[in-house]
Homo-oligomer: A and B are copies of this chain.
């Protein structure tokens, strides 16, 4: 990435990280072998791929939808990323075919959008608020960048550069241009990626324009609605689109949660690229709002299905949680960007929380079923589905999984940061040119022991930053067998020395079962605890219990023991121990009664990782367990 006066770190290219662990490596393989083909079939069968042939005629069903382009684009981005990890001529052929097909839909003036080319050609750019044109453009840009990086092909990249240049001719502050911006953010962060790939500042400037124009008065969305002849909508709420005020004046994470996360990610990108400390501070404020007052323990955000949006501080209902898969992925994007400024473990903690819980829960272990919504409690009716009419989540998982390596490491001028403990290997090039190879041997996330081996081409002085996760309250660190008492900076143990190669760094993170509680103002969790061990948040699932998991309570001093079960759910550590069943028969009828000691009888409890629930028999699930 280009140098930034305020961002010290850069994420490792995901292609430089070989993931060989028991958690992510199978996910990457399943993504490659099952999810990518499954999603391609769905894209084809639903007409999304074929739509790029532009042969739709009025009256034909299905009608190409305004967000279809983005579904194909995200698939292409994900498939390209996976291809970059794992060359495969057949897959490369398919990927390039899709890339060429998309490029073939480009119009003579550079425009590239199926719906507004074949269905409503006279409505181009008339409804930025609702019609996802710039959102689709953003995903196409991301796909083009990923496809180019994976294959070297410019077929889609050149098309998208033309499209972006056309977009820049339509939107901006210059006279004669529309002062619009997207109702669904996405293009902003995509343009930064395009800038980073090409070095062309005009892409950065366009991103900056879209971000800074947002929420300015008079409202562009109101003006374009009036131009369409619509009456001022009573239901229009600018905060839904994060357009209630200019972004630099925003202080709370509001509105549609995926849009918010994509916007904030772009803002973090721009703050870094432009050295804009003020914008970074806005991002920090929004980060605190999102993660310290509005985030589920799973890393999910956006509490309500009504508008898929953020609600109020501490409003985190469990059963009706929306916590869209895409929003957790968006939180990972935002976290990963904030982490690069100065390697603050708070960002890595939330990133890890979302990765291991509320994001990866979005896909089944067999890779062919998906959660759009990730509640923290279910009466048994919530299940993953093959696909969705609004299919944003499956391809978002597809593009997240292969790139996990980029979340694991960062480099700086003379520093290497390890954010995630993933068995495998990384080849890292520092800004000073030194090449460092790190090998990790660990059973993380099921065990806290990590053995890192550092290799260098020639002796080099640099700092190795090892993340001490927020969940860890005790650790031991040794270098070549000698206990180390490192400087700890913002949640990272810093080992600075001249590395000669072959050093073995051993980190042992104590990983007891923790009963977590939520801030007292989170009424949904009051009087309850959630089980967590390491980064893994647990849940109780109906299939493991003879009685309703809704009646299970945790005794105060009940011991819970982790046990790794290689044959269960792809190999997970379960938690087992004593619990109690609360007899709630006296509650048939009355809603209020004089308080009485709960009538309890002993039972056994088995908790499984939240991310793998609903992979066996359908049933109840709960994360937050009442305390006895």
* A501-542 Cβ-contact flags toward B at 8 Å (1 or 0): 000000000000011111111111011111000000000000
A248 on interface, CB distance cutoff 8 Å: no
**Across the interface, which residues of B come within 8 angstroms of A582, CB to CB?**
520
Closest B residue, CB atoms, query A353: B592
16 residue pairs bridging A and B, Cβ less than 8 Å apart: A235-B235, A293-B591, A473-B594, A514-B594, A515-B594, A515-B595, A516-B592, A516-B595, A517-B595, A519-B587, A519-B590, A520-B582, A526-B527, A527-B626, A527-B627, A529-B595
A584 on interface, CB distance cutoff 8 Å: yes
Closest B residue, CB atoms, query A349: B590
**Across the interface, which residues of B come within 8 angstroms of A81, CB to CB?**
none
**Across the interface, which residues of B come within 8 angstroms of A593, CB to CB?**
516-517
Residue of B297, B523, B529, B584 near A317 (CB, 8 A) is B523
Residue of B320, B520, B524, B587 near A587 (CB, 8 A) is B520
Verify B522–A524 contact, CB threshold 8 A.
no
Which A residues lie at the B interface, using CB under 8 A?
235, 291-293, 295, 297, 306, 312, 317-318, 320, 473, 514-524, 526-530, 550, 582, 584, 587, 589-596, 626-627
**Across the interface, which residues of B come within 8 angstroms of A520, CB to CB?**
582, 584, 587, 626
**Across the interface, which residues of B come within 8 angstroms of A528, CB to CB?**
526-527
* With contact pairs A522-B591, A582-B520 given, residues A527 and B529 touching in the complex (Cβ less than 8 Å): no
* With contact pairs A517-B592, A594-B514 given, residues A626 and B587 touching in the complex (Cβ less than 8 Å): no
Verify B594–A516 contact, CB threshold 8 A.
yes
A-B pairs, top 4 by smallest CB distance, nearest first, are A527-B527, A517-B595, A515-B595, A514-B594
**Across the interface, which residues of B come within 8 angstroms of A306, CB to CB?**
306
Taken together as a complex, chains A and B put the C-alpha atoms of A595 and B558 apart, in Å, by: 13
**Across the interface, which residues of B come within 8 angstroms of A592, CB to CB?**
297, 516-519, 530
CB distance from A544 to the nearest CB of B (A): 21
Residue of B473, B550, B589 near A292 (CB, 8 A) is B589
CB distance from A582 to the nearest CB of B (A): 7
Verify B591–A526 contact, CB threshold 8 A.
no
Taken together as a complex, chains A and B put the C-alpha atoms of A518 and B596 apart, in Å, by: 11
Taken together as a complex, chains A and B put the C-alpha atoms of A594 and B529 apart, in Å, by: 9
**Across the interface, which residues of B come within 8 angstroms of A596, CB to CB?**
517
**Across the interface, which residues of B come within 8 angstroms of A589, CB to CB?**
292
Closest B residue, CB atoms, query A297: B592
CB distance from A493 to the nearest CB of B (A): 21
Residue of B317, B518, B587, B594 near A591 (CB, 8 A) is B518
Verify B591–A519 contact, CB threshold 8 A.
yes
Closest B residue, CB atoms, query A292: B591
**Across the interface, which residues of B come within 8 angstroms of A550, CB to CB?**
521
Closest B residue, CB atoms, query A316: B591
A517-B592, A517-B593, A523-B524 known; 14 new pairs, CB 8 Å cut-off, are: A292-B589, A292-B591, A473-B594, A516-B593, A517-B594, A518-B592, A521-B550, A522-B591, A523-B523, A524-B524, A526-B528, A526-B626, A527-B527, A527-B627
**Across the interface, which residues of B come within 8 angstroms of A527, CB to CB?**
526-528, 626-627
Taken together as a complex, chains A and B put the C-alpha atoms of A518 and B519 apart, in Å, by: 21
Taken together as a complex, chains A and B put the C-alpha atoms of A245 and B339 apart, in Å, by: 54
**Across the interface, which residues of B come within 8 angstroms of A529, CB to CB?**
595
Taken together as a complex, chains A and B put the C-alpha atoms of A37 and B626 apart, in Å, by: 52
CB distance from A524 to the nearest CB of B (A): 5
Taken together as a complex, chains A and B put the C-alpha atoms of A293 and B589 apart, in Å, by: 9
Verify B591–A295 contact, CB threshold 8 A.
yes
**Across the interface, which residues of B come within 8 angstroms of A235, CB to CB?**
235
Taken together as a complex, chains A and B put the C-alpha atoms of A201 and B491 apart, in Å, by: 80
Residue of B318, B517, B584, B590 near A523 (CB, 8 A) is B318
Taken together as a complex, chains A and B put the C-alpha atoms of A524 and B523 apart, in Å, by: 5
Instruction: Indicate the member of A297, A514, A594, A627 with the most B CB atoms within 10 Å.
Output: A594
Closest B residue, CB atoms, query A512: B594
Taken together as a complex, chains A and B put the C-alpha atoms of A524 and B584 apart, in Å, by: 17
CB distance from A266 to the nearest CB of B (A): 25
**Across the interface, which residues of B come within 8 angstroms of A320, CB to CB?**
312
Taken together as a complex, chains A and B put the C-alpha atoms of A529 and B593 apart, in Å, by: 10
**Across the interface, which residues of B come within 8 angstroms of A530, CB to CB?**
592
**Across the interface, which residues of B come within 8 angstroms of A595, CB to CB?**
514-517, 529, 627
**Across the interface, which residues of B come within 8 angstroms of A590, CB to CB?**
292, 519
**Across the interface, which residues of B come within 8 angstroms of A514, CB to CB?**
594-595
Taken together as a complex, chains A and B put the C-alpha atoms of A552 and B229 apart, in Å, by: 55
Closest B residue, CB atoms, query A377: B523
**Across the interface, which residues of B come within 8 angstroms of A521, CB to CB?**
550
CB distance from A165 to the nearest CB of B (A): 37
Taken together as a complex, chains A and B put the C-alpha atoms of A527 and B520 apart, in Å, by: 11
Taken together as a complex, chains A and B put the C-alpha atoms of A312 and B319 apart, in Å, by: 11
CB distance from A512 to the nearest CB of B (A): 9
Taken together as a complex, chains A and B put the C-alpha atoms of A317 and B626 apart, in Å, by: 18
**Across the interface, which residues of B come within 8 angstroms of A292, CB to CB?**
589-591
CB distance from A594 to the nearest CB of B (A): 5
**Across the interface, which residues of B come within 8 angstroms of A584, CB to CB?**
520
Taken together as a complex, chains A and B put the C-alpha atoms of A353 and B550 apart, in Å, by: 29
Taken together as a complex, chains A and B put the C-alpha atoms of A589 and B293 apart, in Å, by: 9
CB distance from A559 to the nearest CB of B (A): 14
